[in-house]
Structure 1
Amino acid sequence: MALKDTFYISHGSPTLSIDESIQARKFLQSWKKDVFPQRPSSILVISGHWETAVPTVNVVDSINDTIYDFYGFPKQMYQLKYPAPGAPQLARRVKELLKKSGFSHVDEDTKRGLDHGAWVPLFLMYPEADIPVCQISIQSQQDGTYHYNLGKALAPLKDEGVLIMGSGSAVHNLRALEPHSTVAPWALEFDNWLKDALLEGRYEDVNHYEQKAPHAKKAHPWPDHFYPLHVAIGAAGEDAKAKLIHSSIELGSLSYASYQFTSAAS
């Protein structure tokens, strides 16, 4: 079964896994009913929480370990499990496609499980944890166009029933978070710029967001949570139509804006 959609999910805070007050939680829990009723053959996650020098896939044969890559949170969060099967065949297919597209150095990690950028949203989207999951890393020393092209290389996976999902946060500046605060104007301005650019199909502007977007460096002091978006856009195709599927801002500036990209060629 071929798929025509890719997604960018803002996973925000790890407390998304337990905090019923976070609006995005309900959105993700309604995923199979209201957003994407098709069942993918496997899932490829590009998470802002795995950075490497070159593209790397986790080639895991058995159940994925749940990685608790966060600190100082409630104890119950460290007891949650997301034992999704590994997807070694998908991982090797990802390597094949990337090398075919000119990414000459692609590494494998045979031990890594799922970081919280992957398992927290999937815990809500597919709670049965019965769909094989593979992760691919980002390269923060590269730019948006690089990650867009990485996504383009992965586009054939959609025809193989693979759900391609970037996971980050549309606005992500941990030092600017303010509990009980109103939405910061700069965060709203960047969030709205991104929405307009995506819905209008100005993907080149998004690729060069550092020069095009207002408050770009404040919205993303480090690009790790933004580059998964570029991969999702690239995998959808340059003629893909974007749709805003969720919008909320918590802690004054942490945006949970999430997008669906539908290929016009499908």
Structure 2
Amino acid sequence: MIKETFFISHGSPTLSIDESLPARHFLQSWKQTVFPHTPKSILIISGHWETHVPTVNVISPPKVNDTIYDFYGFPKPMYQLKYPAPGASQLAKRVKELLLASGHDRVDEDKKRGLDHGAWVPLMLMYPDAQIPVCQLSVQTQMDATYHYHLGQALAPLKDEGVLIIGSGSATHNLRALRFDNGSAASWAVDFDTWLRRALEEGRYEDVNKYLEKAPCAKMAHPWPDHFYPLHVAMGAAGDQAKAKLIHHSWSNGTLSYASYQFTAPN
């Protein structure tokens, strides 16, 4: 049984190689400082897989997940990295079963897709041996945050089955506003990031679901919701009585917050 779910801000793909990023060292210390247990399998929801209906990648053992290089113009060594985690087809089927039972009319299966960089980059640092089976679940950006919160609620039983649920996105994500001058974080990014931390730590999950109405600078922080919805899935899977805890915080490029959160259900 696992009590925790997590939201990880994975920021730039350079997290995979850039030793100067504090978030990289945080993720490398994952098993020592955050979650020392070995889950049966991992369900990861990445902001880099958008579909019209919920979709799981069904990779049947002994096949492993392909490493998808869904980024462009980065250093060559990044395209040589591999994360051949085993497929988790049984978990994929279980996710589909739970979502259909919760009222979804349709849940699709993708039997070819591997792991995008929103999944494999953090997992490569957290679980470098790539021995734990991984299943990825998509987000639906035409839907709202509350929809994704309910998606997470439907997946909550997986924790009792030894599955680690991770949302992978970014606490702030406006790529058009990135800064490269090594200056302080932009005020709008700080305002949103601070609001999010307070709302989560105070258990105001309904406010987080309605962030477009409640949060300062919401559209500036997330012009598109793809990197924020994984947080709502993790939050929903933990339950409305779960306690949120900030487990890492750092910035890069003046606007990218690497704020990451743990949600722990009560005993």
Judge same fold: TM > 0.5, yes or no.
yes
Moved beyond 4 Å, runs of 4+: none
> Aligned to 2:156, what secondary structure does the other structure show?
helix
**Does 2:50 correspond to 1:51?**
yes
**Aligned match of 2:19:** 20
Q: Which amino acid aligns with 1:9?
A: I
* Identity level (%): 74
Q: Distance in 2 between matches of 1:37 and 1:20?
A: 23
Q: Any stretches of 5+ residues in structure 2 without a counterpart?
A: none
Matched positions, count:
264
**Does 2:76 correspond to 1:75?**
yes
Q: Which amino acid aligns with 1:223?
A: P
Shift in Å at residue 181 of structure 1? 2.6
**Aligned match of 2:264:** 262
Q: Which amino acid aligns with 2:230?
A: P
**Aligned match of 2:214:** 212
Q: Distance in 1 between matches of 2:172 and 2:252?
A: 10
Q: Distance in 1 between matches of 2:76 and 2:251?
A: 25
Shift in Å at residue 104 of structure 1? 1.3
Choose the corresponding residue for 2:186, options 169, 184, 191: 184
**Aligned match of 1:93:** 94
Residue correspondence of structure 1 range 63-212 to structure 2 within 5 A: 63-179=64-180, 180-212=182-214
Shift in Å at residue 182 of structure 1? 1.7
Give TM-score, length-normalised by structure 2.
0.98
> Aligned to 2:74, what secondary structure does the other structure show?
coil
Output one character per residue of 1:151-199: Cα deviation in whole Å (capped at 9) or x when no partner. Answer: 0000000000000000000000000000123210110010000000000
Q: Distance in 1 between matches of 2:241 and 2:28?
A: 29
> Aligned to 1:244, what secondary structure does the other structure show?
strand
Output one character per residue of 1:195-222: Cα deviation in whole Å (capped at 9) or x when no partner. Answer: 0000000000000000000000000000
Residue correspondence of structure 1 range 241-252 to structure 2 within 5 A: 241-252=243-254
**Aligned match of 1:35:** 34
Output one character per residue of 1:79-130: Cα deviation in whole Å (capped at 9) or x when no partner. Answer: 0000000000000000000000001110000000000000000000000000
Q: Distance in 2 between matches of 1:248 and 1:143?
A: 27
Q: Which amino acid aligns with 1:141?
A: Q
Q: Which amino acid aligns with 1:106?
A: V
Q: Distance in 2 between matches of 1:248 and 1:178?
A: 15
Output one character per residue of 1:26-53: Cα deviation in whole Å (capped at 9) or x when no partner. Answer: 1000000000001000000000000000
> Aligned to 1:186, what secondary structure does the other structure show?
helix
Q: Which amino acid aligns with 1:41?
A: K
Give TM-score, length-normalised by structure 1.
0.99
> Aligned to 2:24, what secondary structure does the other structure show?
helix
Q: Which amino acid aligns with 1:10?
A: S
Q: Which amino acid aligns with 2:147?
A: Y
